[in-house]
Amino acid sequence: MKPHPVFDGTRLKATVFRPRRKKLFVSFRQRVGDPGSFDTPRPVMGFVTRSFAHVHIQSRDNDWFINDETEALEAALARFVGRYDEVVAMGFSMGGYGALRFARTLKVDRLLAISPQVSIDPDVVPFDRRYRAEAEGWNGALGNLEGRTTEVRGAVLVDPFKNRDVEHGRMICALFPQLTLVMLPCGGHPATRAIRQGGRFDWLKTGLAEGLADPREIGRVHRKVRRRSESYWRNLAQVARYRGREGLAQRADAEAEALTERA
pLDDT single digits (tens) 132-181: 999 998 999 999 999 999 999 999 999 999 999 999 999 999 999 999 99
Q: Averaged over 83-91, what is the pLDDT?
A: 98
- Assess whether 113 and 233 both reside in one domain: no
- Assess whether 233 and 208 both reside in one domain: no
In this predicted structure, what is the pLDDT of residue 184?
A: 98
- Assess whether 67 and 163 both reside in one domain: yes
The answer as to whether 219 is a domain residue is: no
* Residues contacting residue 251 through CB under 8 Å, at least 6 positions apart: none
The answer as to whether 223 is a domain residue is: no
Q: Is the pLDDT of residue 192 over 90?
A: yes
The answer as to whether 63 is a domain residue is: yes
Pairing of the two strands 153-158 and 12-17: unpaired
In this predicted structure, what is the pLDDT of residue 181?
A: 98
- Assess whether 128 and 192 both reside in one domain: yes
Dihedral angle computed from the Cα positions of residues 192, 193, 196 and 198, in that order, rounded to the nearest 10 degrees: -110
- Assess whether 82 and 155 both reside in one domain: yes
Report the phi/psi class of residue 207: left, alpha or beta, with left for phi > 0 and alpha for psi in -120 to 50.
Answer: alpha
- Assess whether 118 and 237 both reside in one domain: no
Whole domain around residue 249: which residue ranges? 229-263
- Assess whether 118 and 244 both reside in one domain: no
The answer as to whether 221 is a domain residue is: no
> 241-251: per-residue pLDDT in tens?
999 999 999 99
- Assess whether 143 and 31 both reside in one domain: yes
Report the phi/psi class of residue 147: left, alpha or beta, with left for phi > 0 and alpha for psi in -120 to 50.
Answer: left
- Assess whether 130 and 195 both reside in one domain: yes
Q: How confident is the model at residue 198 (pLDDT cuts 50, 70, 90)?
A: very high
Cβ–Cβ < 8 Å for 50, 209: yes
Between CA 214 and CA 208 the distance in angstroms is: 10
Listed residue (150, 75, 61) closest to 113, CA to CA: 150
In this predicted structure, what is the pLDDT of residue 240?
A: 98
Q: Is the pLDDT of residue 263 over 90?
A: no
> 200-234: per-residue pLDDT in tens?
999 999 999 999 989 999 999 999 999 999 999 99
- Mean model confidence pLDDT for the chain: 97
Q: How confident is the model at residue 195 (pLDDT cuts 50, 70, 90)?
A: very high
Between CA 125 and CA 67 the distance in angstroms is: 20
